[in-house]
Structure 1
Amino acid sequence: MTTLEPGSPAPDFTLLDQDGKPVSLHDFRGERVIVYFYPAAMTPGCTTQACDFRDSLSSLQGAGYTVLGISRDAPEKLREFREHDGITFPLLSDPDHAVHDAYGAWGEKQNYGKTITGVLRSTFVLSEDGTVREALYNVKATGHVARLRKTLGLDAA
């Protein structure tokens, strides 16, 4: 499994958002971007994490960050997630997990004592020049955004 390290170039991608519109990472060059990978829309942990990003979005944006969430869900399910939970940042669909693979966010993990292959909940902070500033693998849904804010030097939400 490939993992990214600080200073690595962030793999570029173009994925469909919750409205079926293409979103390309290279369109955000010159901006700081937080890209996070989560297992499935509308599940308890993923909802907690997305809502934490939603609730911190204005301060993250105020500090110059754009947030992008990526899962294997189809755009229709992402749209339902956005509408159900008031998610206010782009949710991107990676059904074949190619972008997950490129970021090292797909692999073996433990689930209820069994080894399975799937999404590794991960977050990447990308610099304006398109390099990885932070690569956080196997993060917990609850409290992750608060820890990320601390890592980025932002006050608690």
Structure 2
Amino acid sequence: MSAKKTKGGMVSRGIVAQNRKGRFNYTIKETLEAGIVLKGPEVKSLRLGRATLSEAYASERNGELWLLNSYIPEYQGGVLSRFDTRAPRKLLVHRKQANQLIGSITRDGASLIPLDIHFNDRGIAKVTLGLGQGRKKEDKRHAIADRDWQRDKARLMRSKGRDYG
């Protein structure tokens, strides 16, 4: 899914913010797309692509899922309404899905990690949540070694192709 920019430089579709460390620090077992409750200026700020999810996490409060510690900067387009940049934001999922996720969190000790914020084809802001287990240090080292090997293998294949072609 690629980002499509309008003439004002705003993103109408595609990924706005990613949590790249989320996939590195956790083994993601399952992903889920959830809606997010936002105010007007927050949506405009997201469309400018200036959000950060590096320290964000999702949690349960009173039987509902909330996105905590995500950073959406204030919109500077002349709007007078101000909002808290790190305010908790409610996540919209079906009741059955919420109960399953809350059960996994409490029973299995899993974590709910926001992986990205994106706009779908209809222009609605969505959050991709990953249900994952924390990785140990040796697992992270193994992931780094695998990533380096894949990169080196691709380089070797490209260089072999040039020599023979």
User: What TM-score does the superposition give when structure 2 sets the normalisation length?
Assistant: 0.23
Higher strand share: 2
User: What TM-score does the superposition give when structure 1 sets the normalisation length?
Assistant: 0.24
Q: Which has the higher contact order (CA 8 A, sep 6+)?
A: 1
Choose 1 or 2 for highest CA Rg: 2
